[in-house]
Amino acid sequence: MAVKPPMPSLIVILSLAAAPACAAPDIALGRYLSGECVTCHRGGTATTTIPNIFGMAATTMTEAIRAYRDKRLDNAVMQGIAGRLKDDEIDALAAYFEQTRRP
């Protein structure tokens, strides 16, 4: 006689269903939030102090914005802007700019 494996408990099933999924960054939110960034960074080039962020790797941008937010990078303007952003907003901006080329 074959032994049936035990059925998963209801608690395990419900906890898996309630677990937050790792969602991709919200690119539409990034586009919405990007206006303030574009104001200064639209003219950014390799020879200016304001860098070009269009097409920048999302991981690079995420690390930089969080460093400004946490005051590990020194720039009063960027610290003020980044200080208002939550992690999901930073991820959304980084995802948006990674796929966007200069207007």
DSSP string of the chain, one letter each residue = -PPPPPPPPHHHHHHHHHSPP-PPP-HHHHHHHTHHHHHHHTT--TTSSS---TT--HHHHHHHHHHHHTTSS--HHHHHHHTT--HHHHHHHHHHHHH----
Residue-level pLDDT at 23: 77
Tell me the domain boundaries of the chain.
23-99
Alpha carbon distance 85, 20 (integer Å): 21
Residue-level pLDDT at 45: 67
Query: Could you confirm whether domain 23-99 is CATH 3.90.226.10?
Result: no
Q: What is the pLDDT of residues 40-80, one digit of tens each?
A: 888 766 667 889 999 999 999 999 999 999 999 999 999 99
**pTM of the complete model:** 0.74
φ/ψ bin of 71: left (φ > 0), alpha (ψ from -120 to 50), beta (otherwise): left
Residue-level pLDDT at 12: 43
User: pLDDT: is 52 or 92 the higher one?
Assistant: 92
Amino acid at 91: D
Amino acid at 80: G
Residue-level pLDDT at 43: 76
Place of tokens 């999302």: 58
Closest-CA residue to 34 (of 64, 48, 54): 54
